[in-house]
Amino acid sequence: MAIIVEGRLMTFILMIIFFVLMYYFMSINKEQQYTIRAMPALQAIPEAVGRAAEMGRPVLWTPGISGALNNSSQGPQILAAISILEYLTEECVKAGVHLQAIVPLPDALPLIEETMRTAYLREGKPEEFNPDQITFISEQSPYLSATLGYMQRYEPASNIFVGGFYYESVVLGEAGNHIGAMQIGGTNNTHQMPFLVATCDYMLLAEELFAAGAAISQNRDMLGSIKGEDFMKVILVAITGVGFILGALNITIIADLLGM
Amino acid sequence: MASGHYWVKSVDSTREAASKMSALSKLADIDRRVFYWILFIALMVPFLNPIGFPITIAPNTQDLYDGITGDQVDEGEVWIINFGYGVSAWSECHPAVTVCTKALFREGAKIIFIGPHYDVELTYNKLQDTCREDFATKEYGVDYVFLGYFTGGESVVAQLASDIASVFPQDHFGTPIGDIPMMDGVEDVHDIDGVLSSDTGDYGGHFMTQWQGPYGTKLAEVGIAMNGSTDLPRWQAGNFFGVSVGSRGGAELELLIGELGEATTAMDSISVSHLLLVLAIIIGNLGTITEKLGGKE
Amino acid sequence: MAYPTATLDVIGLWVGWFLMLMIYSYPLYKENVAYRAAEHMFIGVTLAITIITNFSNVMRMCITPLTQGNILMIVPLVLGLLMFTMLIPEYRWLSRYPVALLVGAGFGLGIRGTIKPNLQDAIIDTITAPTGGAMIDWFNYLYVAVGLICSIMYFMLTFEHSGPLKAPTRIGRLFIMVGLGAYFGNTVLFRFTMLTGRAQYFLQVLKLIPM
Amino acid sequence: MSNVLKQEAVYAVTGIVTILMLVEYFFFADTQVWAETIRTWAVIIYNISLGLGAARLLISHSARVSKKGRDWQFSGLLLGLFAIMLLTGFAGYIMTGVQTNNGIYNWMFNYIYTPLGATLYPITGFYIFSAAYRAFRARNIDAALMLIAGCFVMLKNAPVGEAIWIGFATIGNWFQFTGQVPGMRTFAIVGALGLIAYGFRALLGKERGFYAGGGE
């Protein structure tokens, strides 16, 4: 009897190859620093905060309706958005800018609050953190209506829309444009990417959202895992290229192997 | 503000000194509220004066219809219909779900209705209304059952696969699941012959990952048009046996079953609004091109 | 559905109609008192509904089994209550445990669920050649494979998009733009359909068209 | 010790649960009771966590009312409707087991909650119009491709497109079934890789921001 469940063998192999690749690049040549392509969306965060400081207005961060943390596709996006939130909070604290988070995710509240609180602490201004900087609203449509209301009432200078967005993306993006806010978007929800692209000044598309934390920290080990990702892409590109040629010759060995 | 990376955003009219622009380049920056008013009024006109544009059937809709009719469904099969949409998306999803319910009932299938929206009961009631004649020939608890609301996203979809009663110990009306004749012997994924998920979100994707992928359950999607770009590749890849895309899919299904309904009526409004948008885009581009050619003073 | 006749239902219908106008006053005009009232009403009502629904879920999934002897259900109950330590500064760190369980479940389900459909199936579909001999099918086969390869290369994050990578990444970006445009165009239908539903409701309440 | 409990043990819980989910999937053909139990726990915890958010929201609005802060009247409206809805819903729930078995609750659900929900979602119809109007501009080849693909799909979706020219349906279908596939699949593939890599980094305690800067 096979150890791995039938039909899941190749999934297992691909996962192990990926883990090994990432671990390999995290472990080798410890003295060599990896570089990552500049991400304009991340580089724009200080600009977004600086703009708010100049205008004397707040910065708004919101992760979209996303889903529960145990949701397989949305949970990791929320965490990636929180990685960005930490950096954003630090920049806001340094510049003395009010950061407002509007959050429809009850289970992520502890993470979000702790992340902001820690950032204030790290910048030496723990007393300036106010839990009211995090507004919780339950459910998608009320969350949208509250965020829309906040935007026109407080006119944030910059909006950071990173996380698992659904239909609210286009509404928030357009409402943000209406008040002339600078906007940075990011999501792995493919169905919302066009709207954030259309309404934001800068975007973190798909994988870039997950890699943002590594890019911000410039932590060598984290960048090593991104190197591993890139080599995984090379493998997938090679499989696709060879499979394409063999497929054209009616040889289906690659497809058969992938389907194992 | 540079937008060198992505790519397409343009400046908003309300913050620009439109008075300095030429007449044509002003077209590129019309206040959005002008469009909003025109759009809302234009959507109403076809309801008062129907036009009646012809509709053709897309292959994904045909596959969906074929998959729930004829030889594809045996009498007594148990199907799940997931109302993954709230009242706000009735106009988009409900016509297609109505046709699917009619088709499955007419093939003698038994249906379990569930839904992850609070207002699922309203949707269920609406279906009773839109499929009135078909429900009249069926008996609750024997031919269909309404298990009601569930929450928890993908985890619960996975749990449903292994034990339906653990998620729904009773139906929506409080009857223990063990007392419902239709649920006798229907315990897990192996006892379900097919799933139709109708979504504004991605419950179709959850059923794909947790049901169709591991167990090969027949799965089709009645998605909102927005999800078409996600759903159609899944249909092409064989994960979904068919897909209905938005109200257009609903109108096609109404045509296939031969009973025109709400989606067919709405298609005229859809045509008018799309035409309006294309016109707006052309006007916007005229302004942009004028600016490029030096028309901006 | 016919136009309601009961007084309370007729009042309700008109309340809903006015609430719609209050909300649409935001896009059609600007943020105002009517919108703000509707916004706050919505938040309050929804919060109550969510609390009751979640309470009944906890009763059904946790408390009832616990009272029936499923002692393990004490675990999520305790972990869930640990969430509230967030409100007590000294014990705030305890809230990490329930979050850790949720995150672990999310990652586990995410990793195991994403590889097959998003990697394997996507590539299998790309390299499965058309069975017929139609020219357009073969063109599509080539288009998708080349497009996919170039677009993936566009996402190479630790390599500069120069030298041999310059051309494919540039082309990849164009393929991505086509994808985004098609997505956008497809979504318009959905959004307009829903707004059509509201336009229809607007007329129905005024009895200009049948309900 | 406290650091172990505050950080390492937390990572361990995440790691163990992740691994259990993977083990169940790869080594067992059918769903396992222990894994299902964990998932049920997760759902229960999520349900309970709403209480935390609700407490935050109610404290914030109550404070606004008591201090007569900005928009306090609206906060009062929010709290008032919340109280009515909650009490009537619980009355129905306690007496019959189903919250909808209360006339006031039902009326508010059907005529306040439902129309508001049904109104907010379609609001996107307005915003997508102006987003398309502004974004679909042929400023460069990238934007032009987006414009072309978008317009053909739109005209294909609306019956009027075919009425004007049958080619809109043909070309629009091509964009929808083939044209968008490379971009769509790429997002799926790189998104999946990003998700797995993020999970891997988080499990190793490397991801900054995760559990409040645990990687620091």
Nearest to C75 by CA among D32, B160, D44: D44
CA distances from B47 to A215, C21, D158, D159 (A): 53, 19, 16, 16
Is A228 part of a structural domain of the chain? no
* Across D107-123, average pLDDT: 92
Average pLDDT, chain C: 92
Q: How many domains does chain A have?
A: 1
Which helix H or strand E contains B158, and what residues bound it?
Answer: helix B153-162
Cα angle D184-D185-D187, degrees, rounded to a multiple of 5: 70
Task: Starting at the earlier edge strand, list the strands of the sheet with B144-149.
Answer: B144-149, B110-115, B78-84, B194-199, B218-223, B243-245
Q: Characterize A152-188 residue by residue with b for buried, 16 or more Cβ atoms within 10 angstroms of its Cβ, and e for exposed.
A: beeebbbbbbbbbbbbbbbbbbbbbbbbebbbbbbbb
Tokens (6 digits) for A133: 């900087």
* Chain D residues touching C115 at Cβ < 8 A: 192, 196
Q: Do C120 and A14 touch (CB under 8 A)?
A: yes
Which among D43, D137, D176 is the nearest to B228, CB-wise?
A: D176
Hey, which chains touch A, using 3+ CB pairs under 8 Å?
Answer: B, C, D
- Per-residue pLDDT in tens (0 to 9) along chain B, 297 residues: 333 455 566 544 444 444 555 666 666 677 889 999 999 999 999 888 888 788 889 899 999 999 999 999 999 999 999 999 988 788 889 999 999 999 999 999 999 999 998 889 889 998 998 999 999 999 999 999 999 988 877 778 988 998 899 889 889 888 999 999 999 999 999 999 999 999 988 899 999 988 998 899 999 999 988 777 778 878 987 899 999 988 889 999 999 999 988 888 888 888 999 999 999 999 888 887 877 776 544
Q: Does A114 touch chain D (CB under 8 A)?
A: yes
Q: Do A134 and D56 touch (CB under 8 A)?
A: yes
Rg (CA), chain A: 21
Q: Do A217 and D215 touch (CB under 8 A)?
A: yes
Question: What HEC string does B93-128 produce?
Answer: HHHHHHHHHHHHHHCCCEEEEEECCCCHHHHHHHHH
* Distance separating alpha carbons of residues B43 and B47, to the nearest angstrom: 8
- Which residues 26-45 in chain C show a CB within 8 A of chain D? 26-28, 36-45
How does DSSP assign C60-124, residue by residue? IIIIHHHHTT-GGGHHHHHHHHHGGGGGSGGGGGGGHHHHHHHHHHHHHHHHHHHHIIIIIIHHH
The separation between the first and the last C-alpha atoms of chain A, rounded to the nearest angstrom, is: 15
List the CATH code of the domain at B59-267. 3.40.50
* Distance separating alpha carbons of residues C150 and D185, to the nearest angstrom: 12
* Distance separating alpha carbons of residues A22 and A252, to the nearest angstrom: 29
Q: Where are the domains of chain B?
A: 23-49+269-292, 59-267
Is A237 part of a structural domain of the chain? no
Distance from CA of B289 to the nearest CA of D (A): 8
Give the A:C interface size as CB pairs under 8 Å.
179
Question: What HEC string does chain D produce?
Answer: CHHHHHHHHHHHHHHHHHHHHHHHHHHCCCCCHHHHHHHHHHHHHHHHHHHHHHHHHHHHHHHHHHCCCCCHHHHHHHHHHHHHHHHHHHHHHHHHCCCCCCHHHHHHHHHHHHHHHHHHCCHHHHHHHHHHHHHCCCCCHHHHHHHHHHHHHHHHHCHHHHHHCHHHHHHHHHHHHHHCHHHHHHHHHHHHHHHHHHHHHHHCCCCCCCCCCCCC
- DSSP-derived pairing of the beta strands B144-149 and B243-245: unpaired
Q: In the structure, what pLDDT confidence band is assigned to residue C183 with cuts at 50, 70 and 90? A: confident
* Higher-pLDDT residue of C3, C199: C199
* Chain B residues touching C53 at Cβ < 8 A: 118, 149, 151
Q: Is-contact C121 A236, C-beta < 8 A?
A: no
- Per-residue pLDDT in tens (0 to 9) along chain A, 260 residues: 579 998 899 999 999 999 999 999 999 877 788 888 888 999 999 999 999 999 999 999 999 998 888 888 888 899 899 999 999 999 999 999 999 999 999 999 999 999 999 999 999 999 999 999 999 999 899 999 999 999 999 999 999 999 999 989 999 999 999 999 999 999 999 889 999 999 999 999 999 999 998 888 888 888 999 999 999 999 999 999 999 999 999 999 999 999 88
* Higher-pLDDT residue of A115, D203: A115
Is D183 part of a structural domain of the chain? yes
* Distance separating alpha carbons of residues C190 and C208, to the nearest angstrom: 25
Is D24 part of a structural domain of the chain? no
Q: Do C152 and A247 touch (CB under 8 A)?
A: no
- Which residues 60-119 in chain D show a CB within 8 A of chain C? 71, 74-75, 77-86, 89-90, 93, 99, 107-119
What pTM was computed for the model?
Answer: 0.87
The total of other beta-carbon atoms located within 10 Å of residue C135's CB is: 8
Is D9 part of a structural domain of the chain? no
- Which residues 178-197 in chain D show a CB within 8 A of chain C? 178-193, 195-196
Domain that holds residue D187: 125-192
Q: Is-contact B109 B75, C-beta < 8 A?
A: yes
With a pLDDT cut of 70, the percent of chain D lying above it is: 94
pLDDT at residue B1, rounded to an integer = 35
* Chain B residues touching D180 at Cβ < 8 A: 229
Q: Do C197 and B228 touch (CB under 8 A)?
A: no
C187-204 pLDDT tens trace: 888 788 889 989 999 999
* Chain A residues touching B5 at Cβ < 8 A: 39-41, 202-203
Count the residues in chain B: 297
Which among C49, C117, C208 is the nearest to B118, CB-wise?
A: C49
* Distance separating alpha carbons of residues B182 and A85, to the nearest angstrom: 50
Q: Do B154 and A182 touch (CB under 8 A)?
A: no
Task: Starting at the earlier edge strand, list the strands of the sheet with A134-136.
Answer: A134-136, A99-103, A59-62, A158-162, A182-187, A202-205
Q: Does C200 touch chain D (CB under 8 A)?
A: no
Nearest to B158 by CA among B197, B189, B199: B189
Domain that holds residue A167: 40-217
Which among C49, C105, C189 is the nearest to B248, CB-wise?
A: C189
* Across C26-49, average pLDDT: 95
* Higher-pLDDT residue of D144, C1: D144
Q: Does B40 touch chain D (CB under 8 A)?
A: yes
pLDDT at residue D211, rounded to an integer = 65
Task: Give φ, ψ of A126 to 5 degrees.
Answer: -60, -30
The total of other beta-carbon atoms located within 10 Å of residue B170's CB is: 17
* Chain B residues touching D45 at Cβ < 8 A: none
Report, in this order, helix, strand and coil percent for chain A, each rounded to 5. 60, 10, 30
Q: Do B226 and A191 touch (CB under 8 A)?
A: yes
Q: How many domains does chain D have?
A: 1
Q: Do B8 and D122 touch (CB under 8 A)?
A: no
Domain at A92, CATH number: 3.40.50.10160
Tokens (6 digits) for B119: 């207002």
pLDDT at residue C72, rounded to an integer = 93
Distance from CA of C69 to the nearest CA of A (A): 26
Longest dimension (CA), chain A: 69
Which among B56, B121, B152 is the nearest to D43, CB-wise?
A: B152
The total of other beta-carbon atoms located within 10 Å of residue D16's CB is: 15
pLDDT at residue A67, rounded to an integer = 81
Q: Is-contact D196 A188, C-beta < 8 A?
A: no
Count the residues in chain A: 260
Secondary structure letter of residue B190 according to DSSP: G
Is A79 part of a structural domain of the chain? yes
Rg (CA), chain D: 26
* Distance separating alpha carbons of residues D201 and D203, to the nearest angstrom: 5
C86-139 pLDDT tens trace: 888 888 889 989 999 999 998 999 999 899 989 999 999 999 999 877 899 999
Helices B228-236 & D181-203 angle (0-180, nearest 10): 100
Amino acid code (one letter) for A204: L
Q: Do C102 and A70 touch (CB under 8 A)?
A: yes
Longest dimension (CA), chain C: 75
